[in-house]
Amino acid sequence: MASLKLGDTAPDFTQDSSIGPISFHEWLGDSWGILFSHPADYTPVCTTELGATAKLADEFKKRNVKVLALSVDPVASHHGWIKDINETQGTTVNFPILADADRKVSTLYDLIHPNASATATVRSVFVIDPHKKVRLTITYPASTGRNFDEILRVIDSLQLTEYHSVATPANWKDGEDVVIVPSLTDPDILKAKFPKGFKTVRPYLRLTPQPNK
């Protein structure tokens, strides 16, 4: 299938996992979600990534985000790998890992890239909103571990911009000034929406303190 684009509905599926069968849309409920894929179990970079994800459990919970990993190996292999992750990374894996041995989910999410590998999945991240829409996709090479600070930063931006008429500038971090969307021009609406005021750098570039802080 063609690659998923931003705004597409994330494909639903039912697949076995380290905690039993998961029906994806039902499992997500009204939460945000992260689905991230791994080429195989017992791979070194992915071992560190799953450990890092487990350590961020409180950060994901604070943002109403559920995390779901995927690897093409079967459940029995996942359980062994989870023990390794817990021991080597000093944490406890607290999210499910899909067992995608039949490549069903990998195919739905276009995770097999023949130029990279004919059988293993590429290492992609999907952020999915409560309406089951894809809001972010990132694909990393096998040699580069994912940056979870960046993934959290993007989720903060997505959640902020979902509920306020703002966008976030380059390198923005939670708590910093944001950009008012150019389509908002009515002075009364601007005053009501941004009671802290705003700075007009250019007519199209207006900065305001983060509205939900």
Distance CA(62)–CA(58), nearest Å, equals: 6
Question: What is residue 120's predicted lDDT score, i.e. its pLDDT?
Answer: 59
Residue 100, both tokens? 């995608």
Distance CA(20)–CA(57), nearest Å, equals: 20
Question: What is residue 1's predicted lDDT score, i.e. its pLDDT?
Answer: 46
| Contact yes or no for 20/53 (Cβ under 8 A) | no
Question: What is residue 51's predicted lDDT score, i.e. its pLDDT?
Answer: 96
- Would you place residue 113 in the very low, low, confident or very high pLDDT band (cuts 50, 70, 90)? low
Residue 78, both tokens? 């996942």
- For residues 213 and 108, the model is more confident at 108
Mean pLDDT estimate for the chain: 92
Q: Which of 46, 54, 67, 97 is catalytic?
A: 46
CA angle (147 as vertex; 152, 51 as ends), nearest 5:
90
Residue 114, both tokens? 């023949």
On the CB side of 36, CA atoms within 13 Å amount to 23
Q: Is 27 part of the annotated catalytic residue set?
A: no
Distance CA(96)–CA(120), nearest Å, equals: 19
- Would you place residue 3 in the very low, low, confident or very high pLDDT band (cuts 50, 70, 90)? confident
Domains along the chain with CATH numbers? 14-146 (3.40.30.10), 164-208 (no CATH)
Residue 198 has pLDDT above 80, yes or no: yes
Distance CA(72)–CA(119), nearest Å, equals: 9
Phi, psi torsion values for 26, nearest 5 degrees:
-65, -40
| Percent of the chain's residues with pLDDT above 70 | 94
* pLDDT, tens digit, 9 for 90 and up, residues 150-177: 999 999 999 999 989 899 999 999 999 9
Q: Rounded mean pLDDT of 56-80?
A: 95
- The full DSSP string for the chain is -PPP-TTSBPPP-EE-BBTB-EEHHHHHTTSEEEEEEESSTT-HHHHHHHHHHHHTHHHHHHTTEEEEEEESS-HHHHHHHHHHHHHHHTS---S-EEE-TT-HHHHHTT---TTT-SSSPPEEEEEE-TTSBEEEEEEE-TTS---HHHHHHHHHHHHHHHHSSEE--TT--TTS-EEEPTT---HHHHHHH-TT--EEEETTEEEE--TT-
